[in-house]
Structure 1
Amino acid sequence: MKVKFLGALLLTATLTFFGCDDNTGTLGIGMLPGSDGISALTTKYPVTTRSVLADSVFAKTSTGYVGRFTDPDFGYYEASFLTELNCIDNFKFPEVYDKEKKTGILTKNEVEGVRLVVFYSTWFGDSLNACRMSAYELQEPLERNRYTNIDPKEYYIKDGSSILLGRRAYTAYDTSVTDEERNATDSYGNKTYYPSITFTLDKEKYGNKWLEYAKTNPEYFENSEGFSKLFKGVYIKSDYGDGTILYVDRVDLQMKYEFYVLNDTTNIPYKAHDGTDSIATTWRTEFASTKEVIQANQFLNSAKIKERVDETDHTYIKSPAGIFTEAELPYDDIYRDLSNDTLNAVKLTFTNYNKQDSPYEFSMSAPSNVLLLRKVDFKSFFEENKLPDNITSYTVKHNNVATNQYTFNNIARLVTTCIQGKDAAMKKAKEAAGDKWNQEEWEKDWRTVYLIPVAITYDTTSSSTSQTMTGIQNDLQPGYAKLKGGPEGDVLELEVTYTTFNK
């Protein structure tokens, strides 16, 4: 499909009189006599939408999700996660105090205790819902599978058995913590209370034995790769309770030590009132889940979500790993009608229905941000950690106050890019497919875009008043919106504003 382009002088005139922005796309306009007038017109094209099951999404995140939540419309979904624990390079355990050399600090080469601590700061759902969490040791190395359909059984169950590290009952809001403890701060004003769930581990297996390994097998503690041969990680899941999802910030493996209280100057133990050396104990985080190690979330949805996908008089978007809305854009019709004109703006709006009062106390809200992305770019966009380029990918915020819509004001560059690049892309895909080539299927995918709930991060250190986007991921928090459209519902319209010559 060949396309002509507007001459530089004529383009300048068009920009001057019609105020086209940098999203203007030129489909064609050959050189015509200057006496011909230019008109700005608007036309509309129907857009077909439908719901599609997400199945799984790419989730590169350091947040772990755990719990179960049931919604009357979508059924239940369960969240659990697997994570390695990071070992800093050339890690060393604290050493036993040497009175002659005045080095070290421990009273003995032993640990007093070992615990696994799951820290979380926020949650979704009922804060007082009774739940139970289980922690398992991984028995197979965790692969870099970032998709949410990962099967934990492949990693924590071996030869039909698992290694249970512990089980703990909990509520997201711990009522046993006093207000004084909950609101306590340090000398800098930072809160010292951090909600957590603690599992007590075998101090011999996960403590003293490791101290021995530090001498006999130091390669285990050279880095995270070496440590994963000793301890492959943990699997955290909820096995009781419905109505709460915890957002886990990190998992720490902590060890308790008995140590001498030393004089900072002489490095000699202080004396207690009875004349003995002053001794104390402390917990220390030795290994933790961090961004440097592998972490994977699993989300399981009930079959009821498929019922929502099959509804035809509207569409949905739902997170996490739930439903996308798919839209087919009429590129061929636009090229047929406007190939000799200039696209100034292409507007696409998704309107969501006002939510009725839900009988469920903790209902989900509409996703705050969505991404409009070509179907053919879906996998590579998230796997390669891309940012929206306002050419083939766009983000908008939900306007829940004025219009209750997700409005993409100008996707003209998407339209022109897909029209102009179709022939080359088709040729490449056809060669790759060989005898499996299906042109009808390929063309459908080429004109299809996804509307996807996303979470966006911004640079918080910049002094500029405008925010700089630094990352975008699939939204992994509960949310949904019911949108107008669907194969048998209201027809969405693509509003195209273009300039043309009067003849």
Structure 2
Amino acid sequence: MKANILASLFFATLTLAACDESTDQIGISLVDNADLLEVTTDSFNVSSKSVLVDAVLGKNGIGYLGRIKDPETKDLISSSFMSQVATIENYSFPQKTLIANTVNGEVQADSCVVSLYFSEFYGDSLAPLKINMQELVKPLPESSNYYSNFDLVKNGYLRTDGINLDKVCTLADFTYSDKERSSSANGKRIQFSLNAPYKDKSGVTYSNYGTYILQTYYQHPEYFKNSQTFRTHVVPGFNFSVKSGLGAMVYITNVQLNVFLTRKEADNKKSVYMASFPGTQEVLQTSKVINDTDKLQQLVDDNSCTYLKTPAGIFTELTIPVDQILKGHEKDSINSAKIVLQRINEESSDDYQLPVPTQLLLLPKNQLNTFFENRMINDNVTSYIVSRDYNVDGNNRFSSYKNTYTFSNIAGLIKAMAKSKQKNSTDWNKVVIVPVTTTTATINQATYTTSIRHNMALSSTRLAGGEKNSRSPLKISVIYSKFK
């Protein structure tokens, strides 16, 4: 539908005060030019389809661990994760003579634990899981990109004769008291005790893993110079996976390796000393996801709608009708181009429906991998974010009330696609919709996106559209302007 709009209305409220002869014609000249401006609108069908995702970049600030049955596909989804741990620069333990616990003159750690802290999870907190912990034989190079199908075993990163512990637990861990579980200081955690005798790669046996770290420090303090030397020579990292059990997926926000020892104080007193080595976003963390691709393919083959499904499941691909949009408007300006993605509510009564993704990234299909590998940020020219809250431009948003994702103005993308066509670029008129997670920073009351990563949590939704949906095809609305 096309409509002519009197552009002079845009200037009806403009008042100019003329103070001398040099300005007395400004108002008239503006009105005359405005009378020459013509604004029109139009809308076009957008083709959409689901695309199966083989793998996504697995590096993330959160570790995903668990196994669940997808209520939508009945597919088993499992995730394991690897985390390195860090040390502060030039870390130092107390002087060797101050360590109270010794055996044959060699200092000993009292105990050692690895804790996996989490605040969120999906599924049943009472579902028992058998979680396995193994140590790495060598650190993963941080310069490489690791996708969600990267196999640590096949690539020779897991130590076969090192730490290999199983722990049966529930996310509501009843080995702690009610007071401990509710304490914000303790937090929700899964804890592994490393107090059994430990043999390092050179064959030396220590009373526990903490003693190994402690004695390594006194023999080679240079290994603790920074996190890189620490993981190269002391602790390469740990891998956590689910051996058995079903019904829960936990989102690990922090990994903590703690070594406890007794320190001598003045007046024959003693105190407990804790050395802490965290696994956070500052070090490498990767997740490996296993999906049933045959069952996901059944959703992809459903042409009556499209899907968004994580982790590493299904994206939605759009084909933008650039040629139609520009036909007859080669000399016009595209002021606005809006796409609204309508969600389709699920009708299942399952108690554990997957959450709806609330942040989506729209970007050119031919930039999908490089965008994440290069740690790029949306520029609102060729890449756009919608989220539950208003975006930086004040318009792009996800509305749970309207059940819609709105990309309010992708005019810059259309212009960029036209240039890509001239360069014979592959998939020049195609974009993908990708569920993501973002981190932000607020400076001078303005909020900025600082990182965008693939959403590796569990989420799913259906979108109106699809290649066979003639009743409610996806539309793009365009506003043009030109001078007569």
TM-score tier, shorter chain, comes to: 0.7 to 0.9
Residue 335 of structure 2 corresponds to residue 336 of structure 1: no
**Aligned partners of 1:208 and 1:176: how far apart in 2?**
26
Structure 1, residues 390-412: CA drift from partner, whole Å, max 9, x if none? 11011113544432111112111
- Match for residue 396 of structure 1 among 374, 386, 389: 386
- RMSD over aligned CA atoms reads 2.6
Q: What amino acid does structure 1 have at the position aligned with 2:57?
A: F
**Aligned partners of 2:278 and 2:33: how far apart in 1?**
70
Residue 259 of structure 2 corresponds to residue 255 of structure 1: yes
Q: What amino acid does structure 1 have at the position aligned with 2:301?
A: D
Residue 57 of structure 2 corresponds to residue 58 of structure 1: yes
Q: CA deviation at 1:17?
A: 5.1
Residue 250 of structure 2 corresponds to residue 246 of structure 1: yes
Structure 1, residues 358-406: CA drift from partner, whole Å, max 9, x if none? 3321111211111111112212221222221111011113544432111
Partner of 1:392, secondary structure, is: coil
Which residue does 1:451 correspond to in 2? 433
- Match for residue 229 of structure 1 among 227, 233, 239: 233
88-97 vs 412-421, which deviates more? 88-97
Structure 2, unmatched stretches of 5+, are 1-6, 14-31, 198-205, 389-397
- Match for residue 309 of structure 1 among 280, 300, 303: 300
Q: What amino acid does structure 2 have at the position aligned with 1:170?
A: C
Structure 1, residues 42-80: CA drift from partner, whole Å, max 9, x if none? 212111100011221124322111001111323121111
**Aligned partners of 1:132 and 1:36: how far apart in 2?**
74
1:149-168 map, 5 Å: 149-153=149-153, 154-157=155-158, 161=160, 163-168=162-167
If the length of structure 1 is used for normalisation, what is the TM-score? 0.79
Which residue does 1:369 correspond to in 2? 359
Which residue does 2:477 correspond to in 1? 495
- Match for residue 185 of structure 2 among 179, 192, 195: 192
Residue 93 of structure 2 corresponds to residue 90 of structure 1: no
**Aligned partners of 2:377 and 2:244: how far apart in 1?**
39
**Aligned partners of 1:79 and 1:390: how far apart in 2?**
33
Q: CA deviation at 1:81?
A: 0.7
Structure 1, unmatched stretches of 5+, are 1-12, 20-32, 98-103, 185-190, 263-267, 270-276, 430-441
Structure 1, residues 117-147: CA drift from partner, whole Å, max 9, x if none? 2222221111111111110011233133332
1:156·1:235 contact (CA, 8 Å) conserved in 2? no
**Aligned partners of 2:438 and 2:125: how far apart in 1?**
26
Structure 1, residues 326-376: CA drift from partner, whole Å, max 9, x if none? 0000112222231122212111111111221x3321111211111111112
1:64-213 map, 5 Å: 64-74=63-73, 75-97=75-97, 104=98, 106-108=100-102, 109-144=107-142, 145-153=145-153, 154-157=155-158, 161=160, 163-184=162-183, 191-201=184-194, 202-203=196-197, 204=206, 206-213=209-216
Residue 318 of structure 2 corresponds to residue 327 of structure 1: yes
Structure 1, residues 253-276: CA drift from partner, whole Å, max 9, x if none? 22221223x3xxxxx22xxxxxxx
**Aligned partners of 1:446 and 1:34: how far apart in 2?**
36
- Match for residue 292 of structure 1 among 273, 276, 282: 282
**Aligned partners of 1:280 and 1:35: how far apart in 2?**
81
1:71·1:360 contact (CA, 8 Å) conserved in 2? no
Which residue does 1:345 correspond to in 2? 336
Q: CA deviation at 1:501?
A: 5.5
**Aligned partners of 2:176 and 2:250: how far apart in 1?**
18
2:11·2:34 contact (CA, 8 Å) conserved in 1? no
1:447-486 map, 5 Å: 447-459=429-441, 462=443, 464=445, 466-486=446-466
**Aligned partners of 2:237 and 2:12: how far apart in 1?**
60
Give the count of matched residue pairs.
429
Return closer, same or farther for 1:249/1:54 CA change in 2, 3 Å cut-off: same
Residue 369 of structure 2 corresponds to residue 379 of structure 1: yes
**Aligned partners of 1:480 and 1:289: how far apart in 2?**
29
1:46·1:491 contact (CA, 8 Å) conserved in 2? yes
Which residue does 2:26 correspond to in 1? none
166-175 vs 208-217, which deviates more? 208-217
Return closer, same or farther for 1:292/1:174 CA change in 2, 3 Å cut-off: same
1:141·1:155 contact (CA, 8 Å) conserved in 2? no
**Aligned partners of 1:35 and 1:361: how far apart in 2?**
59
Structure 1, residues 25-49: CA drift from partner, whole Å, max 9, x if none? xxxxxxxx97985432221211110
Percent identity of paired positions between Structure 1 and Structure 2: 30
**Aligned partners of 2:12 and 2:417: how far apart in 1?**
24
**Aligned partners of 1:392 and 1:215: how far apart in 2?**
54
1:59·1:473 contact (CA, 8 Å) conserved in 2? no
Return closer, same or farther for 1:107/1:95 CA change in 2, 3 Å cut-off: farther
